[in-house]
Copies of this chain bind each other. A is one copy, B any other.
Amino acid sequence: MIKVGIVGGTGYTGVELLRILVNHPDVELKVITSRSEDGVAVADMFPNLRGHTDLRFSVPDVDTLGACDVVFFATPHGVAHAMAEEILNTGTRVIDLSADFRIKDVPTWEQWYGQPHGAPDILPQAVYGLPEVNREQIKDARLIAVPGCYPTSVQLGFLPLLENNLLPEQMLIADCKSGVSGAGRGAAVGSLLCEASESMMAYAVKGHRHLPEIRQGMELAAGKAVNLTFVPHLTPMIRGIHSTLYAQAPGLTQAQLQTLFEQRYANEPFVDVMPAGSHPATRSVKGSNVCRIAVHYHEHTGQIIVLSVIDNLVKGASGQAIQNMNIMFGLDENAGLKQVALLP
């Protein structure tokens, strides 16, 4: 059994890690930390966990965390910067769900996150935990930067096109719609039911922190600079991201693109390429680790439209983190991750 610790378990990615891990066949949950909730039973805060765990929140402590085989960080940015190195030094592996180690260029990180990078020394060893790209590196990684929710759905949708150099110089567009859980469990007016339900709005049109992360991944896949316009939208639902991706590539066919996508993801356990003509709905992945993709092509205009949906808390965060753990510890990649999406 793999001994697991979680730093920062009071947010939505924290409870989602717990939801999956309490039923993971190869995991023993050892510790979950929260400074503010020290001593509180996890199941008192999250009653869905009643009967599944007796853990209580405790103050983070390197000795206890260092006794685990792996520690997940489900914390605001900056926390993993401050604590990860000490934990790594005990030999424990770290899987960070925050943005702290996702961006390889320190000045870029500092510009978008508005604070000094707290751990540039260990940044080089961080592996970007997108298994569909970095599976081999993940196996031996000691520090994983779990991709963001938008970046996961956008990259998986664009990768087959970029890797095959199908997109000429152009502006690519990612119009993304996210459920409100992406904003976290913080008590913000904008996330109130009375503010966010029965409404649709774009936000951060001037620039969103996930943009440099997405572009970094896309440029690695393309082997060249990529132009991307990324517009996120707050959508009146709890979970789910729907990314609608636009690119121009004249002279292809629907069949070519369909084959390209199917082959690219043929061996991927968590990417499902739907038949031509499909429209994936976010509810088809609610609670599951699947990214479901459809590719459309308008042959008369050369317009490619990729539809890519995930559950932002699963494939977009906690599920993907556990997928990384499975790979790192040589487990079945889908251990603990077989749940079917909840529909309806």
Contact = CB atoms under 8 A, between A and B. Distances in A.
Interface in A3-28: 12, 15, 18-19, 22-23
A263 B141 CA distance: 49
A55 interface: no
A185 interface: yes
A215 B80 CA distance: 51
A190 to B, nearest CB: 9
Interface string A276-297: 0101111111111010100010
Interface string A29-60: 00000000000000000111111100000000
B305 A205 contact: yes
A194 interface: yes
Given A175-B175, A198-B198, A198-B237, A46 B229 contact: no
B177 A177 contact: yes
Interface string A323-342: 00000000000000011111
A191 interface: yes
Interface in A196-213: 196-203, 205-206
Contacts of A238: 193-194, 197-198, 344
B342 A199 contact: no
A259 to B, nearest CB: 18
A51 B175 contact: no
Interface in A118-152: none
Interface of A: 12, 15, 18-19, 22-23, 46-52, 171, 173, 175, 177, 179-181, 185, 187-189, 191-203, 205-206, 227, 229, 231, 233, 235-240, 242, 244, 246, 248, 272, 274, 277, 279-288, 290, 292, 296, 298, 301, 303, 305, 307, 309, 313, 338-344
Given A15-B344, A48-B343, A200-B240, 7 more contacts: A48-B340, A51-B290, A173-B175, A194-B238, A199-B237, A205-B305, A229-B298
